[in-house]
Each structure stands twice: as structure tokens, then as C-alpha cells.
Structure 1
Amino acid sequence: MKRLLKKCCSIILGLALMTSTFGSVASAAANPNPSWSVDERVIFHGQCLPYDYYAAKDPTIVRYNGQWLIYYTGANQSGGWQMCFTSASTIEGLKTAKRTYLSKIGEAYFCAPELFYFEPQNLWYLVYQDGTHGAAYSTSTNPADPNSWQGPKSFGISGNMGWDYYIICDDQYAYMYNTPSDGSGNLYVRKTTLANFPKGWSAPTVSIRNTFEGAEVYKCLADGQYYLLIEDMKDGRYYELWTSSSAGGPWTQVAEKWAWRGNLTKYNADKWTTNVSHGELVRAGYNQKLEINDINKVDFLIQGTTNMNAEYQKIIWDLGLIRNYNGTGPDSNVNDDPIEITPKSAFERIEAEKYDDQSGVEIEDNPDGTGRNIGYIQNGDYTVYKKVDFGSGASSFQASAGSNSVGGNIEIRLDSLNGKLIGTCAVPNTGGWKAWTNVSCNVSEVTGEHDVYLKFTGGSDYLLNLDWFKFDAKAISEGKLGDVNGDNSIDSLDLMLIKKHLLGDALENTALADLDGSGAVDAIDFALMKQYLLGVISEFPGKA
């Protein structure tokens, strides 16, 4: 994903003295009192009836594959909150876009979503609060499909539970923020390692006191700092701003009223809000690091209203953008780069849960703490692994699988669900869903780079669990390795063919040029050929 790194403003703004429990005011690059422009509403309450009868609120927004994706809360007539979805290619297009209730999750109470792509697992997460687990999440490989979510699932946390669970990750940890339901005004944080995510959370600790709810944290690319936004309600609804060098704090306050009615200075449509309430910043990307380009140039999708004189659940909220810079909004500077998928070797273990797409399967934790697997696999379910490089060819497929039923089959297909079938691997009853057994089968006629589809077939019961899989490279004739042009001589002509291959000309037989036996022809093979011709080596490592 391409991101433009921008320099922060070099003028350090003097800040008035503010008191807080956990630190004094920061002398930070962030403007503590910016002027905000208010655009028109783009999502109104009552557009996803009956789920948003009173309000559309608590949005999360990402730009993905040329579309703005927004999940948000709807307040219904019976006193509950439920989640809806909408998407459009432009912000203005959201006004007339289809609204969809998240019936795939379908709880009586689930709200306040956060959406991000968790790169270590190649998986999208929708984080929210619900009536089943308190802190819940669902997963998907296609966030643009509101019917693709698998959940609700529990984070397994306890203590100081309540509202607005929000997660940000650095290179080692995931941090979860939330405010409890005890009215204490505290903001809590807990953490877990990226390897253990979404489980293994620490006990909660107080991060900020004397506040309200709706906290969110971002990494600013311009100055390398983290910024925490949190809603307060001491003078209407408004947002505080805090900063830290770490995603987990400690936090120093930049402004008590960073975005509030007093600095909403320009309305580009009707004056539809005098409150700045639960919203989310438009990010530079969509992964777990929650990055923004510049804290002094943000687009902020908020819930707004001009009338707070109603019961809490019956307050009318609509959604629209505000921004703290002179400009025309995020459509003028969107990032439509797709997820960049790195090719993976067919000859190294591929963890089954690290798919790029799927249908029907669920990810499970292994009880012995050794990792994760996919399970709940039924007839017709499948997983997809993109850009698998078979190099000069594969001869067999092997996998670690388990079954506590009659078992099933793994069909190995190329490039589509009904694409070329190169092998079928049978998985028997192994005596338990996690009683892992290595199974294998031959595969045929596969070289180069392909998307691999594992299609699961069998009876009407659950079939099998899958932990990992890999392919074995095709055997190479010893006498021919290095004779790339097949003239029974290994010479400079063979070296030139490898060089031309690296520059883009395809080889007729890559097996003879794969001198190190890695499954791919690359610069290492070119270097080995040069060493052979200079007499440095007398045979190629791949010969074995």
C-alpha cells in the first residue's frame, strides 16, 4: 500500500495549562484548537428501518478496492442497538447507497463497530460490543460483503467491561481500549501479543480518567506519534485529544476541546450538528496499525445532532464528515491500492488459516497452544491461497489434517473453484479433530505461479480439520541440471538464458535452471551458474 509521508507543521504551538490525572499538557505538533469545516450529512437515520429508527451512529470507515465501506450502529424503537452497513465509490454516493442490516451476525444487541485488516492472519476483523460476549468480534476475507462475517466470537476478557472496544497494533502488541459501564469516567487499556491475538489479553489498567467514551487511537505518519481521541460531554458532546510515543500510552493531553461546537466554524451545507460525537478518522490505509497521514489534516466521520433534549436512546443522530484543513474532502486523495499479496513458495508449509479467501470454514485455536487451524468444514466449503509459486514443478501434496467423522477429500484446484484439478487427497478418521495425521497424494502438471483452491468434499457431516499443507518439488534428472538449452553442454549459452529469464523472457524448462533446488529460478541460480563456469564449484546444490 502506497502512503504519502508528509511533514508536520514546524511551528510548535504554545498550549494553555490544563490539568489531568495522568500528565500535563503536551507541547505537541498537533494544533490544539483547529477550525473545522462541516460537510453535509451522508447517512441519515431511518434509512435501514427498523434498525435505525432513531439514529445512525458510531461509524467505522475504510477505503477498500475503490469503495468507502462503512459499518455503523442503528438505534431502534424497542431500545436496542444493531449494526448496519453501506458502501459507495464516493462520499457523496453514500447518500443514496443501499443500507444492509448485518443479519449474518444478527444479535438483538450489537453495536459500536471498528473495522481493520489484520495482516499477520490475512483476515479482516469487525470489533464491537454485544449482549453475548460483551467484547466481541467477527472475521471475514471480504469486508465489502456484509453477509460474509463469521461470528460473534469472544475476546475472552473480563473486568471493567462496558462500551466502545477499540484496537490498535504496533509491531509487537495489540492494545484494546474501552470505557466501563460503572460510570467511573475511566478509560482502560489491555494488551496481547500479535502472535496471540485475538486471545491472551492482559488485565486492564487505567489509561485516562475523568472522561466519557468512544476512544480511538491512531499512528500519525507525519510525526511518528500516537494520538488518542475520546469523547467527553462536559459541554455538549466534543472530542479531547491526547498524544503518546506508544500505542499503549502513557498519554499527555493536547486539548480538552479539540473538536467541539466552538470551533465548527464553517458549514458547507445546513447546520445539522452542534455536537461532535462518536466517530472515526479516515485512515491512510486499513490495516491493524490504524495509520493516518497527518493529525492536522484529517477527515472525521462523526455522528451529529443539534438537539440533545431526548432520552439517550432516542436522540436523533446522523452521520457526516468534518475536517480540520482547507480542502474538498477525502475523495480528492483516496488510496485505492489493493492488498499487496506476496508470492508464497509451494514447497514451504502454508498455514491453513492464512487463506486469502474462504467459504464456510472457521479458524480455531489449537488447545496445546501450538497455533491455529481451520475447522467446521463441510461438503462444498473451500479456502483460497493466492500467488503460490510452484517453480519448475511439484510432484505431490501433503497436509496435516484431523477428523473425528468419516473424513473427507481435499480437492486441489488451480486459479478458480472449478479450475484444473491437479490432485485429490483423502483424509480418513484420525481419532479426533485435533489428532493430526500427515496425508498425501500425487499432483500433476503444475508449474509457475497459481492461486490454489482447496475444495473440501464428502458427506453431510463435518469432514475434517486442516492445520497446514505444502507441496513437494518434482525430481530433476542429475545429468541435465544446468543444461538449460538441452544441448548436452553446460556453457555460457545456458548462463545467458538464465539472465534473459530474470529479465522477463520465459524459459522452456525451468527445472534445468533451478540450480539450488528452491523451486524457483532466481538470482541465486544465476550466481551458481557463473561459479560453475569459473570453476569455483563442480556441481550444483540442487543436484541432490
Structure 2
Amino acid sequence: MHRIFRGKLLGALAALAAAAALAASALTANAQTSADAVEAQALPTTFNWTSTGALIGPKPNSTHNVVSAKDPTVVQDSTGKWHVFFTVANTAGAWSLAYTSFTDWSQASSAPHTFLDTNPNIGSRYAAAPNVFYYAPQNLWYLVYQTGLPSYSTTSNINDPMSWSAPRNFQNEMPQIVEDNIGNGFWLDYYVICDDTMCYLFSADDNGHVYRAETTVGNFPNGFTNTQIVLQDTKNNLFEGGAVYNIDDSDDYLLMWESIGSNGARYYRAYTADTLRSTWQPLATSQSAPFAGAANVSFPNGAWTTDISHGELIRSGHDQTMTIDTDNLQLLYQGRDPNSGGDYSQLPYRLGLATLAGGATC
């Protein structure tokens, strides 16, 4: 009887130990779920920014009578050096690309500019709205831009603006779905982001539609197909200048899209999704409480713009995942004198840097 009792006792103790282990595992899982929930909520729902004055403006020379600096894309390489590509327009209304680099933002205003139309591979042609990133699977830098179609150049040395290759197209013609919905707009402002298995090409049409095409990571930059409308609103609410980011190296994503306000000034709306194929949900989408706009950007040294327009968030890395750090959120954007007017190509756009309140600066 003693051995039977002892056996039952040991069995009961083993059962209790298993139950305790199961409970501990559940607590760990719940704790991880809570941690993931906190991480997913790292991006605020209301935003307040503080901006510099204009940091980067046009630097005309004897062969480039440029009047603006706009549509920036920015990346920091592994040495800590900043690389900024942007659109310029000259007095004749011709659009092209320019490049500058520096090691500290205090040098941004004085850093020299290189006009990419002096690169013989790119040449003197229409080019605008760049998007730069390092495609790690190929050990190549990609510069995405518009030439009338979604185009790209590559280099293994981002420090040498003459090393960019001649442009090639992701897609050689406008997809039918864009043609059917573009109205009087333009297909433009192409932006690439990849996850572990797929690469996506986002684009605008100046008519209230956000498009997404796709290819595999292994097939990139070829094979972009299946263009779909993934977000739509009125023309002014989803105009152009979009960008998409991974949030904090998580499973969550941020889409920001330039809108035109009731007063004509531009501002940014924002949406989130839990995958790049999921439905985009509104995050900050009103002119009075935008992601970034005149309503929530302050200027300690005096307001120089009411437009918070076509720009890019500072990324925490430089690869194709387009990851941002919500503890250090900054936006390089284009603005202009609110009293300026005339032909769009002649508007005096300059680049400023806004920092989210509570975040550290670069």
C-alpha cells in the first residue's frame, strides 16, 4: 500500500509540475503578446513636429539655371554619411535629378550639388521623384525615378554619382487598371518596398488612387505585375508623393500620401496595415490633424512654408525593407514661400527637416 500511495503521490506531483509549466508558458506567451501589442502601438495617433528652416536649396551654375530643390529621397550609409537625391527644375521648366552628400545635417546647406544629367548614362532627359535604397540580395544601390514610366538605375558605389547605370523600366507601359482610372491625372511617384519574399511598387495617379504592383524578391527588378488599386479617395485627398515604410522592424507598415488642403497647401495623410498586402486603415487623415502639415508643424526660427509636401521619412537602415524607428522619427520634405506662385515648375521649393516631438534628432 505504501508503494501504491507513493506512486500516486509522485504522479500527482508530476501533474502539478506540468500544469505549472503550462501556466508559465501561457504567461510568457501573454507577456510576449502584450509586448508585441505595445510595439505595434509605438507609432502615435496624433503628431506634432518641429521643423528647421530651409536646409537644401537650388545651386544653379553656368549650365544649370535651376530654381528649385524638391521630391527628396534620403539614406544614410554604413559609414554614417547622408546621401540626398532630389528633383530640380530649370527656368525653362525642364525636370532632372540632383545629388548631395554630407556627414552632418549642419553641412546640408553648404554641401555641393551634382546634377545627374551630367552622368553620361542618364544624360539630359526628363527625370524626377527619386527613391533610393540598397538592395541587399544583389549588393546594389537602386535609384528609382520617373521618366514617364517607372525607371531605375543601379550602382555599387553610392558615393560616385557618375557610376549610376542607364535607366531601365520596371514596367514598359501603363497598366490597364491605371489607364482606366487615371482620368486627367498622371501616373507618377514610384516607390519600392520589400518584405521577406515580395517586392512592391507603389504609385500615384493624381486622381485619388494608390496603386501597387508586385514581384518576388528573387525576380526583382523584373516581373512587376498584378497592379491593383489598394487605396482610393478624392483626387485631393490622395494626390501624389507617397511612401511606404516598415515600422520598427515589426510586421506593421505605414503609408503616407500627399494631399491638397482646402487652402491649396499640401499636407501628409497616413495609413497603417499589418502586411503590405493588407487593407490600409486611416491613422491621421484630416487637414486639421494630419500626419504632417501646417496644422501640426512648428517653426522655432519662423515659418517659411505652409506646404509640408513630397518628402521622405529618415529610415533606420538603408535596405529595401524601408524600416523606420518610431523613437527617432524625422521627415525630409519640400516647402516653399507661401506667397510664391506661377507655373508649378517655377515654384521655389526648398528642403526642410521636421522632427517628431519627443524624438531624438539625427
TM-score, normalized by length of structure 2? 0.78
Paired position in structure 1 for 2:314: 282
Paired position in structure 2 for 1:187: 210
Distance 1:98 1:49 in 2: 15
Are residue 322 (structure 1) and residue 335 (structure 2) matched?
no
The structure with more strand, counted as a fraction of residues? 1
Are residue 204 (structure 1) and residue 219 (structure 2) matched?
no
Distance 1:69 1:217 in 2: 19
Distance 1:258 1:214 in 2: 14
Equivalent pair of 1:51/1:75 in contact (CA under 8 Å)? no
> 1:52-201 counterparts in 2 under 5 A?
53-64=66-77, 65-102=79-116, 103-104=118-119, 105-131=122-148, 134-158=149-173, 159=175, 160=178, 162-180=187-205, 183-201=206-224
The runs of 5 or more residues in structure 1 that have no matched partner are: 1-6, 13-27, 331-544
Pick from 37, 41, 44: which aligns with 2:50?
37
Question: CA separation of 1:138/1:297 partners in 2, compared to 1, >3 Å: closer, same or farther?
Answer: same
Pick from 299, 305, 312: which aligns with 2:344?
312
Which aligned segments of 4 or more residues in structure 1 are displaced greater than 4 angstroms? 7-12, 47-52
Q: Deviation at 1:10?
A: 4.7
Are residue 238 (structure 1) and residue 267 (structure 2) matched?
yes
Paired position in structure 1 for 2:6: none
Q: Deviation at 1:50?
A: 5.4
The structure with more helix, counted as a fraction of residues? 2
The C-alpha deviation readout for 1:323-379, integer Å capped at 9, x for no partner, is 11235621xxxxxxxxxxxxxxxxxxxxxxxxxxxxxxxxxxxxxxxxxxxxxxxxx
AA partner of residue 249 (structure 1): S
Q: Deviation at 1:287?
A: 0.4
Are residue 301 (structure 1) and residue 332 (structure 2) matched?
yes
Number of aligned residue pairs: give it.
303
Paired position in structure 1 for 2:255: 228
TM-score, normalized by length of structure 1? 0.53
SS of alignment partner, residue 43 of structure 1 = coil
Higher-Rg structure is 1
Q: Provide the identity percentage.
A: 33
Distance 2:304 2:63 in 1: 23
Distance 1:177 1:10 in 2: 28
Q: Deviation at 1:269?
A: 2.6
Equivalent pair of 1:165/1:178 in contact (CA under 8 Å)? yes
Distance 2:97 2:146 in 1: 10
Paired position in structure 2 for 1:247: 276
Distance 1:218 1:207 in 2: 15
Are residue 272 (structure 1) and residue 304 (structure 2) matched?
yes
Distance 1:202 1:301 in 2: 31
Paired position in structure 1 for 2:7: none
Structure number with higher relative contact order (C-alpha < 8 Å, ≥ 6 residues apart): 2
Distance 1:245 1:45 in 2: 39
Q: Deviation at 1:203?
A: 2.8
Q: Deviation at 1:115?
A: 0.6
Q: Deviation at 1:207?
A: 1.3
> 1:361-380 counterparts in 2 under 5 A?
none
Q: Deviation at 1:162?
A: 1.5
AA partner of residue 66 (structure 2): Y
The C-alpha deviation readout for 1:450-491, integer Å capped at 9, x for no partner, is xxxxxxxxxxxxxxxxxxxxxxxxxxxxxxxxxxxxxxxxxx
